[in-house]
């Protein structure tokens, strides 16, 4: 959808961007984040031609934007800024309908679209359309700004720290609404912010910048789990993952090679295997497919008099399991509700790929406090 290819920008003797290359997929919300002066707003403004690169190319749908009429380019994009950018001498209706009227769209269609947009951002048409921006709160003005950005039904929306001047409650509410809108409309949104919590909450991918360069470009989950260097680790915050527990999955905390046995192994040999590996349970699997057939515990085996019989005779195949993408929240709920200490992790084919134990959960949770002390 949008491709930056070796983009550099210099203002006099100052290099603002240096060899920036990345791609933004259609229908994704990408947050560009970094400290003041890192080049994030410059990067954003290049997409609609407000700033031209010193070198390199920007492509939208494989077209070099430098070859396009800049007015047409901008009219096909929505743009929301921190100060809303509403014209103070125009009513809310006039602000929203300005560009559609310039484009000579049907008046009836414009009116209907205006009502739809006001409904989309949660503002009452009868109450607000004939008011002026000064008569609205900051949050209400920003809602109008978002509505105006969507007025031409553009494929691309540019948002330059649109919520940063708002109070925390209003800001959080607008973030939630943006996420809901994006889930329905699937626009390509580029969102500049300096707030890591905001970026994690709203984005499909984050582009972390420093001194005019892209340091890491990935999903919020991957950046939280695998920061590429110390700068990203410190910028994100070592404890940030604990504020987003949905990103901590079973596959991140499971024991990857649990101790297993086949169903025809004798109880005696199973006990010896558990003693040898210092575990209190065995995962019984099919030798070929690795599909989990059941779980046996040391406690139930010790009560069997004839330990020569096969473990299949006492196999518990009524077990509870989780999938690799279940979150730590899901897992803790399952453990507490069922009063169990061993949870196998199965893939879509019901094959055993890992094991979560009480010990592995305690280790994971205690890591939060170890990092807090560090």
pLDDT at position 373 is 46
Cβ distance 131 to 91 under 8 Å? yes
Mean pLDDT along residues 353-357: 91
Q: Has residue 372 got a pLDDT over 50? A: no
Give me the residues paired with residue 157 across strands: 78, 189
| Confidence label for 242 from pLDDT (cuts 50, 70 and 90) | low
Cβ distance 323 to 346 under 8 Å? yes
Residues 6+ apart with CB under 8 A from 193: 31, 32, 33, 161, 164, 199
Q: Has residue 46 got a pLDDT over 90? A: yes
Dihedral sign, Cα of residue 176, residue 179, residue 181, residue 184: negative
Helix residue ranges, H only, 59-167: 70-75, 92-102, 107-120, 125-128, 138-149
pLDDT at position 260 is 93
Q: Look at 370 and 237; give whichever has higher pLDDT.
A: 237
Burial (CB < 10 A; 0-12, 13-18, 19+), residue 175, is: buried
Q: 220's torsion region: left (phi>0), alpha (psi -120 to 50) or beta? A: alpha
Q: 62's torsion region: left (phi>0), alpha (psi -120 to 50) or beta? A: left
Query: What whole-number distance in Å separates Cα of residue 300 and Cα of residue 74?
Result: 71
Domain boundaries of the chain, sorted by first residue: 2-242, 251-367
Q: Please identify which residue in the block is written with the tokens 């920008």.
A: 9
Q: Take residue 183 and report the two structure tokens written for it.
A: 């889930």
The torsion of the CA quartet 155, 195, 218, 204, rounded to 10 degrees, works out to -40
pLDDT at position 23 is 96
Mean pLDDT along residues 319-340: 88
pLDDT at position 368 is 53
Cβ distance 162 to 145 under 8 Å? yes
Q: For the whole model, what pTM was predicted? A: 0.71
CATH 3.40.640.10 fits 251-367, yes or no: no
Query: What whole-number distance in Å separates Cα of residue 359 and Cα of residue 105?
Result: 65
Q: Please identify which residue in the block is written with the tokens 């596959």.
A: 251
Give me the residues paired with residue 281 across strands: 297
pLDDT at position 64 is 94
Q: Which CATH class is domain 2-242?
A: alpha beta
Give me the residues paired with residue 210 across strands: 213
Pairing of strands 55-60, 2-11: antiparallel
User: By C-alpha distance, which of 346, 374, 345, 342 is closest to 359?
Assistant: 342
Residues 167-211: tens digit of each pLDDT: 888 888 889 888 988 988 899 999 999 988 899 889 999 999 999
Query: What whole-number distance in Å separates Cα of residue 185 and Cα of residue 97?
Result: 20
Query: What whole-number distance in Å separates Cα of residue 152 and Cα of residue 264?
Result: 68
pLDDT at position 300 is 85
Query: What whole-number distance in Å separates Cα of residue 255 and Cα of residue 354?
Result: 5
Above pLDDT 70, what percent of the chain?
94
Using DSSP's 3-state secondary structure scheme, residue 325 falls into coil
Dihedral sign, Cα of residue 45, residue 195, residue 170, residue 241: positive
Q: Look over the chain and give the mean of its residue pLDDT values, rounded to a whole number.
A: 88
Mean pLDDT along residues 135-142: 90
């Amino acid at each position: 959808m949008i491709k930056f290819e070796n983009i550099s920008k210099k203002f006099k003797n100052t290099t603002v961007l240096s060899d920036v290359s990345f791609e933004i997929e259609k229908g994704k919300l990408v947050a560009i984040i970094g400290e003041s002066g890192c080049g994030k707003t410059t990067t954003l403004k290049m997409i609609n031609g407000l700033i031209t690169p010193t070198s390199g190319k920007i492509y939208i749908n494989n077209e070099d934007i430098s070859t396009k009429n800049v007015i047409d380019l901008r009219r096909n994009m929505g743009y929301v800024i921190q100060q809303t950018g509403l014209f103070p001498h125009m009513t809310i209706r006039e602000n929203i309908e300005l560009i559609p009227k310039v484009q000579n769209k049907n008046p009836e269609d414009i009116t209907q679209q205006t009502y739809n947009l006001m409904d989309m951002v949660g503002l009452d048409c009868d109450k607000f359309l004939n008011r002026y921006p000064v008569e609205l709160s900051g949050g209400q003005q920003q809602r109008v700004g978002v509505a105006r950005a969507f007025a031409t039904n553009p494929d691309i929306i540019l948002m330059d720290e649109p919520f940063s001047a708002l109070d925390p409650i209003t800001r959080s509410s607008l973030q939630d609404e943006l996420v809901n809108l994006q889930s329905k409309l699937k626009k390509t949104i580029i969102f500049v912010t300096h707030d890591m919590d905001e970026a994690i909450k709203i984005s499909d991918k984050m582009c972390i910048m420093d001194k005019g360069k892209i340091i890491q470009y990935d999903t919020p989950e991957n950046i939280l789990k695998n920061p590429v260097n110390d700068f990203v680790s410190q910028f994100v915050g070592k404890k940030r993952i604990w504020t987003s527990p949905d990103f901590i999955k079973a596959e991140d905390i499971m024991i990857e090679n649990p101790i297993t046995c086949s169903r025809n192994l004798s109880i005696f040999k199973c006990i010896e295997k558990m003693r040898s590996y210092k575990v209190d349970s065995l995962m019984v699997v099919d030798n070929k497919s690795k599909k989990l057939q059941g779980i046996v515990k040391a406690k139930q085996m010790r009560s069997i008099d004839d330990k020569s019989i096969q473990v299949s005779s006492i196999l518990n195949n009524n077990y509870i399991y989780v999938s690799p993408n279940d979150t730590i929240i899901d897992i803790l709920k399952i453990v507490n509700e069922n009063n169990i200490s061993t949870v196998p992790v199965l893939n879509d084919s019901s094959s055993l790929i890992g094991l979560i134990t009480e010990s592995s959960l305690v280790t994971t949770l205690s890591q939060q406090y170890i990092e807090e002390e560090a």
